[in-house]
Amino acid sequence: MKPRVKVPEQVQAGDVFEIKTLIKHIMENGERVGDDGKLVPRRIINRFTCLFNGNPVFECDVHPSVSENPFFAFKARIFEPGKFQFLWHDDDGTVFSVEREVKLRG
């Protein structure tokens, strides 16, 4: 499951810009009955976090009602160059991580 992230490579200091993320994930809610007649265990991305230079920019808890392949879009503003880190936390303990550097124009 490779997450996809769209972040500008360069921005003007103080400008607001959009960040978009998508992760391919089954988001099994734990309420569906499988072919064997048993409940399919829950397995979802339960938390998403975006950090910039180690500081939180956007965080959210994710619940079973979120559809397969969760997509998040949000705005950010930075005043220094640095690194965004994106973290998707899975019920099974796996954490998917992507990093993107952003430079300042001018």
pLDDT digits (tens, 9 = 90+) for 12-56: 999 999 999 999 999 999 999 999 999 999 999 999 999 999 999
Is 33 buried (19+), middle (13-18) or exposed (0-12) by CB count in 10 A? exposed
pLDDT digits (tens, 9 = 90+) for 53-105: 999 999 999 999 899 999 999 999 999 999 999 999 999 999 999 999 999 99
pLDDT of residue 2: 84
Q: Which residues contact 37 (CB under 8 A, 6 or more apart)?
A: none
Distance CA 37, CA 69 (A): 25
Q: Give the chain's domain count.
A: 1
CATH number at residue 85: 2.60.40.10
Structural domain containing residue 66 = 4-33+41-104
Q: How far is CA 6 from the centre of its chain?
A: 11
pLDDT of residue 106: 75
Residue 1 has pLDDT above 90, yes or no: no
